[in-house]
Amino acid sequence: MNKRIKLIPLILIWTLNFSCAQQESADHEPGKTERVATSEADTLKFTSAISAIFQDSKGNYWLGSKEGVAVYNGNSFTYFTTNEGLPDNQILSIQEDQNGIIWLAAQNGISSYNGKSLQDETRAITESSRADWEQSDNDLWFAAGIKEGVYRYDGNTLNYLAFPKPKVINPNNLYAVTSIAKGLNNMVWLGTYAGVFGYNGKEFKIINDETIGLDVEVAPLHIRSLFEDAKGRLWIGNNGIGVLLKEGDSIINFSEKNNLIHPASKRKGGPSMPGTLEHVFAIAEDEEGNIWFGDRDAGIWKYDGVKLTNYTKKDGLTNDFALSIFKDNNGLLWFGMADGSIYQFNGKAFEKKF
Q: What is d(CA 183, CA 252) in angstroms, rounded to the nearest whole number? A: 19
| pLDDT value at residue 130 | 58
Q: Pick from 205, 210, 204: which is nearest to 130 by CA? A: 204
Range of the domain at 138: 14-352
The mean pLDDT of 249-262, rounded to a whole number, is: 96
Identify whether 304 is part of a domain: yes
Q: What is d(CA 191, CA 324) in angstroms, rounded to the nearest whole number? A: 15
| pLDDT value at residue 42 | 75
Residue 154 identity (one-letter amino acid): D
| pLDDT value at residue 251 | 97
Spatial contact of 278 and 263, defined as CB atoms under 8 Å apart = no
Identify whether 8 is part of a domain: no
Spatial contact of 280 and 298, defined as CB atoms under 8 Å apart = no
What are the pLDDT digits (tens) for 66-104? 999 999 999 999 999 999 999 999 999 999 999 999 999
The mean pLDDT of 331-350, rounded to a whole number, is: 94
| pLDDT value at residue 131 | 57
Q: What is d(CA 253, CA 342) in angstroms, rounded to the nearest whole number? A: 29
DSSP label of 227: E
Q: What percent of the chain has pLDDT over 90?
A: 74
| pLDDT value at residue 40 | 54
Asked whether residue 20 carries a pLDDT value surpassing 80, the answer given is no
Residue 322 identity (one-letter amino acid): A
Lowest mean pLDDT: which of 63-77, 83-97, 122-136, 151-165? 122-136
Q: What is d(CA 188, CA 351) in angstroms, rounded to the nearest whole number? A: 33
Identify whether 222 is part of a domain: yes
Identify whether 317 is part of a domain: yes
What's the structural domain count of the chain?
Answer: 1
What are the pLDDT digits (tens) for 30-58? 344 444 455 556 789 999 999 999 999 99
| pLDDT value at residue 126 | 80
pTM for this predicted structure? 0.88
Q: What is d(CA 178, CA 213) in angstroms, rounded to the nearest whole number? A: 22
CATH number at residue 258: 2.130.10.10
Spatial contact of 177 and 144, defined as CB atoms under 8 Å apart = yes
Asked whether residue 17 carries a pLDDT value surpassing 50, the answer given is no
| pLDDT value at residue 226 | 98
pLDDT confidence band for 172 (50 / 70 / 90): confident
Identify whether 36 is part of a domain: yes
Q: Helix, strand or coil for residue 132?
A: helix
pLDDT confidence band for 348 (50 / 70 / 90): confident
Q: Pick from 149, 144, 196, 111: which is nearest to 12 by CA? A: 144
3-state helix, strand, coil in the chain (%, to 5): 5, 40, 55
Identify whether 307 is part of a domain: yes
Identify whether 5 is part of a domain: no
Identify whether 9 is part of a domain: no
The mean pLDDT of 105-111, rounded to a whole number, is: 94
DSSP label of 6: P
Tell me the DSSP string of 50-72.
--EEEE-TTS-EEEEETTEEEEE
| Average pLDDT over all residues of the chain | 87
Spatial contact of 259 and 253, defined as CB atoms under 8 Å apart = no
